[in-house]
C-alpha cells in the first residue's frame, strides 16, 4: 500500500518516514494531480449559485492530497536528495506549472470567484473570509485569469518554462556544491584551530576520504577563510565558492539566468506591467521599485563609506605582514578576524566553545517559552534522516505543533538555511496543527564531541527558529493565510526580530556554556562579544545590499542579454569595493533564480530589518526584553496572525505606527551622514 494514499496513524499524523520509499512518490503525485483536477472541475461546474463555502472553501480543500505528498517530497529534495528524487523533480516542474495555469485560467472558476468578490460587501463575511476572498481574486488576476486568446496561451507556456528553469538552476547549484571539496594534508592546516580541523576531518570522512576536507558549506569555508594562513589555499577555496553555477559544462547556470530574466519580463508585459519588478512588488509593502531603491541606497552610502575605511585598515595590516599588492576577497575575512582580536580581544577559537549547538537550541526554546508560553518535549519518532530530530510543541498544556530540526551539512542537502513545513495550520476541517522544519548546514563534530557554532551560526539558528515560531503559532482558519503566508518583505520580520534575543545578556549568561568545562561565558568575554556586534558591518552590509540592488536592476527594466556583463556594470556604477564580492553572485543566486520567491525581493531582508530594529526597540523602551504585555501583542498581531491583514496594518497594530530607517542604521552602527 502506498503510504500517501492511506490515512496516517502515526503520532501527530507525522509522515511515516520508515514506510515511505522513493518509488512511492510518482504514483502518489499522479493520484494527487488527478484529485486536484477533479476538484477544480467540480467547483467550476457546480450548478449551484457561487457562495463562499462552495467556491472559496472548496478551493481551500482542493489540494489536500497534493499538499500531503508535496510537503514530504520537496522537503526531501532540499534536505536529503538523491538522483531518483532529482529526476522526478525535473519531471514534476512542468506538470505543476501546467496544473496551476489550468486552474488560474479556468474561466468558469474565475467567474465564480469574481462574482463573489464583486458581492463581498453583501455576503456577511468575517474579516478573515473577506481577506481570503480578496487574496484569491488577486491571485487569479495576477496569474492571467483575465487574459484571452494568444496571450493566455503564451502565459501558460512561459510559466511552464520558468518552472523547468528554476528546477534546473537549483539542481545545477546542488551538483556544484556537492562535487567540490578541497582535501588538505597535515602540512596545509596552518592557522586552523582544533574545532575547524575536527569539522574538516568529519567532512572528509563523510566523503570517504582520509585527512581533512574543506567543502563549500558556509560553516566550513568561512572559518577556513578566517583562520588559514595559506593565502594560496584561501584563494583556491574562495574562487571555487564564488564560481558555483558558472564552471561551464552541464551545471552552468548563466544561460538559465538569461532565459529566466527574459521570460519574467515577458510575463509582466502580458499581464500589463512595465517591468517584472513592477508586477512582483505590487502586493508587497514596498509597492514600487523606486521605494525599494530608496531604502537600499539610504543604507548603501554609509555602508560603503565604512567598508572603504575598513579596507584601508586591512590593506595596511596585510602589507605589514609583507604581503604586497591589493587586498583581495579571500583576504578580507582573514585580516578582519585578526583585526577583531586586536581591537576587541575577540578570537573565534576562544569564543566558539561557548556556543554548543544543543545549548543554543535550548536557548531558542527558552526564549520562546518566556515570550509566548510554548514548551518543547523531545519525540522519538522516525524521521527522514538520522541527523534530524523532533519535538512536540505545547501551549497551555495542549498540543500546538511538531518542530523538526535538521542542523548538519551533508552532500545530499543544498546549501543555506531555511524553514519549511510538512503540514500547515488551519481550522477549516478540525484543528489541524503544523509540522514545521528548520534546515541548517552547520559543521558536524566527530562522534562523541559536541557540535560547536560560530556566533553567526547561532544567529542563523535563532533566525530560522523565528520563522518556525511564525508557522507554529499560527492561529487562523484558512491555510491560504496561515503562518508565513504573508508579504515577502514582511516574512523576514518574525525571523530577524527573534535574532535579537540571542544577544540579550541574560540569555547568553544562561546558555553560553563551555563545551569542556561547562562554565558560563565569562562576563568579560561576553562584554567584548556584545561590544563587537557591529564589527565589520560595512563588509556584510555592502555584500548584501549589492546583491539586492543587482536583483532589483535585473527586473526593473529590459531583461539584460548578458546578465554577467550587466552585473559588472551595476557594481561598477555603485563603486563596489574591489575586495568585496556580492553575497550571492548571479549564477548561484538561488533566492532569485531557483523560483520566483525572492525575485525582485531580495531587498526584503532589509525592509524587514527596518521593522525588526524598531520592534525590538519597543522592548528596550519597556526595560524588559521579555515584557509580557509586549510579547502578547507581538504574538497576537505578528506571530499568530499570518496573512490575515495587510502587513502594514499588522505592524501598526503591534507598534502603533510604521517605522523609519533610523533604528536600522543605529543597529548597524551607521549614521545617515557617514
Using one digit for the tens of pLDDT, what is the confidence trace for 354-391? 999 999 999 999 999 999 999 999 999 999 999 999 99
Question: Above 50 in pLDDT, residue 674?
Answer: no
Contact between residue 548 and residue 606 where contact means Cβ atoms under 8 Å apart: yes
Question: Above 80 in pLDDT, residue 329?
Answer: yes
Name the segment(s) of the chain with CATH classification 3.40.390.10. Answer: 353-487
**What's the mean pLDDT in 193-198?**
94
Give dist(CA 518, CA 532) in Å, integer. 24
Question: Above 90 in pLDDT, residue 90?
Answer: yes
464 is catalytic: yes
Which residues are 439's β-sheet partners? 406, 418
**pLDDT score, position 221:** 95
Question: Above 70 in pLDDT, residue 671?
Answer: no
Intra-chain end-to-end CA distance of the chain, in Å: 66
Name the segment(s) of the chain with CATH classification 1.20.1050.40. Answer: 3-146
Cα–Cα distance list, 154 to 95, 140, 147, 205 (Å): 16, 16, 10, 50
- Share of residues in the chain with pLDDT > 90 (%): 96
Domain 276-344+535-667 is found in CATH 1.10.3720.10: no
**What's the mean pLDDT in 187-205?**
95
* Three-state SS letters, 177-196: HHHCEEEECHHHCCCCCHHH
**pLDDT score, position 261:** 98
List of E strands, 185-317 = 212-215
List, as one string, the DSSP characters of 359-387: HHHHHHHHHHHHHH-EEEEEE----SSTT
Q: What pTM was estimated for this model as a whole?
A: 0.93
**What's the mean pLDDT in 68-90?**
97
**pLDDT score, position 347:** 87
**pLDDT score, position 667:** 82
**pLDDT score, position 664:** 86
Contact between residue 424 and residue 468 where contact means Cβ atoms under 8 Å apart: no
Question: Above 90 in pLDDT, residue 282?
Answer: yes
Question: Above 80 in pLDDT, residue 189?
Answer: yes
Give dist(CA 18, CA 10) in Å, integer. 11
DSSP-based three-state secondary structure for 21:
coil
The rounded mean pLDDT for the chain is: 96
Cα–Cα distance list, 388 to 23, 68, 365, 368 (Å): 22, 20, 17, 21
Contact between residue 599 and residue 261 where contact means Cβ atoms under 8 Å apart: no
**pLDDT score, position 368:** 98
**pLDDT score, position 673:** 43
Residue 333, C-alpha cell as written in the block: 575575512
Of these residues, 202, 246, 348, 464, which one is catalytic?
Answer: 464
Residue 517 main-chain phi, psi, to 5 deg: -90, -25
Closest listed residue to residue 334, CA positions, set 352, 345, 348 = 348
Question: Above 60 in pLDDT, residue 122?
Answer: yes
**What's the mean pLDDT in 397-411?**
96
> What number does CATH give the domain 3-146?
1.20.1050.40
**pLDDT score, position 269:** 97
Closest listed residue to residue 613, CA positions, set 551, 661, 547, 562 = 661
**What's the mean pLDDT in 123-152?**
97
Res. 672 pLDDT band, cuts 50 70 90: very low
- Share of residues in the chain with pLDDT > 70 (%): 99
Which residues are 629's β-sheet partners? none
Using one digit for the tens of pLDDT, what is the confidence trace for 407-442? 999 999 998 999 999 999 999 999 999 999 999 999
Residue 524, C-alpha cell as written in the block: 568579560
List, as one string, the DSSP characters of 30-65: HHHHHHHHHHHHHHHT--SPP-IIIIIIHHHHTTHH
Using one digit for the tens of pLDDT, what is the confidence trace for 7-44? 999 999 999 999 999 999 999 999 999 999 999 999 99
> What number does CATH give the domain 353-487?
3.40.390.10
Question: Above 60 in pLDDT, residue 105?
Answer: yes
List of E strands, 305-347 = none
Name the segment(s) of the chain with CATH classification 1.10.1370.10. Answer: 276-344+535-667
**What's the mean pLDDT in 138-158?**
96
What lies within 8 Å, CB to CB, of 171 at 6+ separation is 86, 89, 90
Which residues are 442's β-sheet partners? 408
**What's the mean pLDDT in 514-542?**
95
Amino acid at each position: 500500500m502506498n503510504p500517501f494514499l492511506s490515512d496516517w496513524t502515526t503520532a501527530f499524523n507525522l509522515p511515516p518516514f520508515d514506510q515511505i520509499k522513493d518509488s512511492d512518490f510518482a504514483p502518489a503525485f499522479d493520484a494527487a494531480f488527478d484529485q486536484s483536477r477533479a476538484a477544480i472541475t467540480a467547483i467550476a461546474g457546480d450548478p449551484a449559485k457561487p457562495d463562499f463555502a462552495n467556491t472559496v472553501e472548496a478551493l481551500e480543500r482542493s489540494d489536500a492530497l497534493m499538499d500531503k505528498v508535496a510537503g514530504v517530497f520537496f522537503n526531501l529534495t532540499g534536505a536529503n536528495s538523491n538522483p531518483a528524487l532529482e529526476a522526478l523533480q525535473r519531471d514534476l516542474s512542468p506538470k505543476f506549472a501546467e496544473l496551476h495555469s489550468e486552474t488560474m485560467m479556468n474561466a468558469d472558476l474565475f467567474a465564480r470567484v469574481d462574482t463573489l468578490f464583486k458581492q463581498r460587501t453583501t455576503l456577511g463575511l468575517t474579516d478573515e473570509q473577506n481577506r481570503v476572498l480578496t487574496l484569491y481574486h488577486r491571485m487569479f488576476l495576477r496569474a492571467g485569469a483575465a487574459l484571452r486568446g494568444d496571450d493566455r496561451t503564451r502565459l501558460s507556456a512561459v510559466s511552464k518554462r520558468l518552472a523547468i528553469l528554476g528546477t534546473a538552476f537549483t539542481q545545477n547549484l546542488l551538483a556544484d556544491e556537492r562535487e567540490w571539496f578541497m582535501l588538505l594534508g597535515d602540512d596545509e592546516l596552518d592557522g586552523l584551530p582544533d574545532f575547524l580541523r575536527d569539522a574538516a576531518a568529519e567532512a572528509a570522512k563523510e566523503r570517504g576520504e582520509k585527512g581533512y576536507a574543506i567543502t563549500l558549506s558556509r560553516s566550513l569555508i568561512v572559518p577556513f577563510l578566517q583562520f588559514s594562513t595559506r593565502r594560496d589555499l584561501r584563494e583556491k577555496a574562495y574562487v571555487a565558492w564564488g564560481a558555483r553555477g558558472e564552471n561551464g559544462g552541464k551545471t552552468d547556470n548563466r544561460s538559465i539566468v538569461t532565459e529566466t530574466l527574459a521570460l519574467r519580463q515577458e510575463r509582466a508585459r502580458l499581464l500589463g506591467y512595465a517591468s517584472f519588478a513592477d508586477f512582483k512588488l505590487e502586493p508587497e509593502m514596498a509597492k514600487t521599485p523606486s521605494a525599494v531603491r530608496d531604502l537600499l541606497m539610504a543604507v548603501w552610502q554609509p555602508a560603503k563609506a565604512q567598508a572603504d575605511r575598513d579596507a584601508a585598515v586591512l590593506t595596511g595590516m596585510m602589507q605589514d605582514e609583507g604581503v604586497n599588492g591589493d587586498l583581495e576577497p579571500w583576504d578580507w575575512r582573514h585580516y578582519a578576524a585578526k583585526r577583531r582580536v586586536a581591537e576587541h580581544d575577540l578570537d573565534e577559537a576562544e569564543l566558539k566553545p561557548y556556543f554548543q549547538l544543543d545549548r543554543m537550541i535550548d536557548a531558542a526554546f527558552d526564549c520562546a517559552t518566556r515570550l509566548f508560553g510554548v514548551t518543547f518535549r523531545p519525540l522519538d519518532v522516525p524521521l527522514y534522516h538520522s541527523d534530524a530530530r523532533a519535538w512536540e510543541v505545547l501551549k497551555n498544556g495542549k498540543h500546538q505543533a511538531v518542530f523538526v530540526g535538521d542542523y548538519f551539512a551533508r552532500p545530499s542537502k543544498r546549501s543555506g538555511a531555511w524553514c519549511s513545513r510538512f503540514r500547515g495550520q488551519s481550522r477549516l476541517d478540525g484543528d489541524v496543527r503544523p509540522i514545521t522544519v528548520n534546515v541548517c548546514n552547520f559543521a558536524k563534530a566527530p562522534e562523541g564531541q559536541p557540535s560547536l557554532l560560530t556566533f553567526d551560526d547561532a544567529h542563523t539558528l535563532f533566525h530560522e527558529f523565528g520563522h518556525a515560531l511564525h508557522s507554529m503559532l499560527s492561529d487562523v482558519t484558512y491555510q491560504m493565510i496561515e503562518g508565513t503566508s504573508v508579504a515577502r518583505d514582511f516574512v523576514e520580520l518574525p525571523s530577524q526580530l527573534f535574532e535579537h534575543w540571542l544577544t540579550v545578556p541574560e540569555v547568553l549568561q544562561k546558555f553560553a556554556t563551555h563545551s569542556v568545562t561547562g562554565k558560563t561565558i565569562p562576563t568579560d568575554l561576553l562584554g567584548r562579544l556584545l561590544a563587537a556586534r557591529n564589527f565589520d558591518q560595512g563588509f556584510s552590509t555592502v555584500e548584501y545590499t549589492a546583491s539586492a540592488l543587482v536583483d532589483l536592476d535585473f527586473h526593473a527594466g529590459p531583461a539584460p542579454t548578458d546578465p554577467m556583463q550587466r552585473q559588472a556594470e551595476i557594481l561598477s556604477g555603485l563603486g563596489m569595493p574591489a575586495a568585496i564580492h556580492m553575497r550571492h553572485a548571479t549564477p548561484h543566486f538561488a533566492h532569485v533564480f531557483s523560483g520566483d520567491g525572492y525575485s525582485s525581493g531580495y531587498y526584503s531582508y532589509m525592509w524587514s530589518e527596518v521593522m525588526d530594529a524598531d520592534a525590538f526597540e519597543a522592548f528596550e523602551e519597556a526595560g524588559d526584553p521579555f515584557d509580557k504585555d509586549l510579547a502578547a501583542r507581538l504574538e497576537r498581531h505578528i506571530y499568530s496572525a499570518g496573512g490575515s491583514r495587510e502587513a502594514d496594518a499588522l505592524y501598526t497594530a503591534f507598534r502603533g505606527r510604521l517605522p523609519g530607517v533610523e533604528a536600522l542604521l543605529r543597529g548597524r552602527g551607521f549614521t545617515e551622514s557617514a
